[in-house]
Structure 1
Amino acid sequence: MKEWYFSNNGEISGPLGLEESNKFIKEHPESYAWHQSYAQWVPISDVEEFEVAITPPPPPIEIPQELIERYLAKEQDLNSALNRIEGTLQTITGSLADLDRDTNRCKTTTQNLNEQVKTTLRSVNEQYAALQKNLAGVSEN
């Protein structure tokens, strides 16, 4: 004969035979059962040997229409806010792309101007050196 142990809110009962177990289960339907062939405690509803009359839970109550409408209104508000945010992000992304393009154009222009300034300074320095040479020749005469 199998002997069963039961745990009901942390209080252990047993060992009980099958007939005593079924009586215990009627009084404590939310208990857990254990037998030496089990590795752990199991809900009594999982043990096929017990005469467990499981009563189905009551059906869920219908959600009031007012609550559904409030939820849908909030969902719509959130979707609107997300659409505004998405639009703002697209605008910012476009502006950043424009800024990058303008920055690269300015960089290129600045590099070209720097080269022109260097070329002009080189030419001015060469002309200055030539003038100094001519002046030095005039002074010696």
Structure 2
Amino acid sequence: MKEWYFSNNGEISGPLRLAESNKFIASNPNVYAWHPSYAQWVPVSDIEEFDVIGSPPPAPAEIPQQLIEHFTAKERELNTALGRIDNTIQTISSSMADIDRDTNRFKQTTKDLNDKVEATLKSVNEQYAALQKTLAGVN
């Protein structure tokens, strides 16, 4: 959910969610709003998400340094977390490749053993049949 900040003659309010923002704007229709996805403060009358009727107020000087530092720190935290996630994904991918390789090797070994067992059983059955013939001739 988006959280908004508001500048009313240099006094910053927020963060506020949409419902709280609309209540704030109802009492302060000539303020500027800012969200981290914005490069600058925007008159609330120019933001479609807000229920406001009015003319734009004079522009605030700039986004407060405290907010910039706060979101820059959040961005660094997210980048660090993404780095850890990326390393985890690489480790998992490598492990999955190892498992696939081992699985294929075990499948081939199983197939080879099955072929040998079938050949052995065929030989045993042939020897048994020959032995039965020999024994039938002795009777």
TM-score by length of 1: 0.54
Counterpart residue type for residue 128 of structure 1: Y
Partner of 1:110: 110
Partner of 2:80: 80
Q: After superposition, give the CA deviation of every residue in 1:7-36 in whole Å (9 maximum; x if it has no partner).
A: xxxxxxxxxxxxxxxxxxxxxxxxxxxxxx
Identity of aligned residues (%): 66
> Runs of 4+ in structure 1 displaced over 4 angstroms?
57-60
Structure 2 runs not aligned, ≥5 long: 1-56
Confirm or deny that 1:129 pairs with 2:129.
yes
Superposition deviation, residue 106 in structure 1: 1.1
Partner of 2:68: 68
Paired positions, count: 83
Counterpart residue type for residue 116 of structure 1: K
Superposition deviation, residue 67 in structure 1: 1.2
Within 1, Cα distance between the matches of 2:134 and 2:115?
29
Say what the alpha-carbon RMSD is for the aligned residues: 1.6
Superposition deviation, residue 99 in structure 1: 1.4
Structure 1 runs not aligned, ≥5 long: 1-56
Within 1, Cα distance between the matches of 2:60 and 2:99?
57
Within 2, Cα distance between the matches of 1:60 and 1:110?
74
Q: After superposition, give the CA deviation of every residue in 1:48-99 in whole Å (9 maximum; x if it has no partner).
A: xxxxxxxxx9565232221121111100111011111111111111111111
Higher CA-based Rg: 1
